Amino acid sequence: MVKEIEKTGLPVVHMCNLVPISLTVGTNRIVPTISIPYPLGDPAAPQEEQWKLRYHRVGVALDALAADVKEQTVFKVKI
């Protein structure tokens, strides 16, 4: 799906946990998430921490859409 969207020329960022699979499939902009069942917020963590993490990673994803990348890129996240 990511590739079909990108084929139209729309920049797309894949937020996923299985980064190696996304790379193998050929995704160009990737932002890692923390798990499969809860990509952007660990239910065991306090609400505030979950929010911080989600806000941060979505921000990284937005910056990825605006980044002029030349090759497949996995963007770094701080939290």
Partner 1 sequence: MKKGILYINQFFGQIGGEEMADYEPEIREGLVGPATFLQQQLKDIEITHTIICGDNFMGSRKEEAVQRIMGFLQDKEIDIFFAGPAFRAGRYGVACGTICHEVNQKLNIPAITSMNEENPGVEMFRYTDIYIFKGGKSAAQMKEDIKAMARFANKLVHGEPLLPAAEEGYFGRGKRHEIYPEDGPMAADRVVDMLLKKLRGEPFQTELPMPKTERIPIAPPIKDLSRATIALVTSGGIVPHENPDRIQSASATRWGKYDIAGMDSLSPEIFKTIHAGYDPNAANEDPNRVVPLDALRAYEKEGKIGKVYDYFYTTVGTGTTQGEAARMGREIARELLEAGVDGVILTST
Task: Extract the tokens encoding 46.
Answer: 């306090």
Amino acid letter at 32?
P
Q: Is 9 in the site for partner 1 (CB under 8 A)?
A: yes
Work out how close the CB of 76 gets to partner 1 at its nearest, in angstroms, rounded to a whole number.
17
| Residue 70 DSSP code | S
Q: Is 79 in the site for partner 1 (CB under 8 A)?
A: no
Footprint of partner 1 on 25-44 (CB under 8 A): 25-26, 28-29, 33, 36-41, 43
CA dihedral over 44, 48, 51, 57, signed as positive or negative:
negative
Q: Is 60 in the site for partner 1 (CB under 8 A)?
A: no
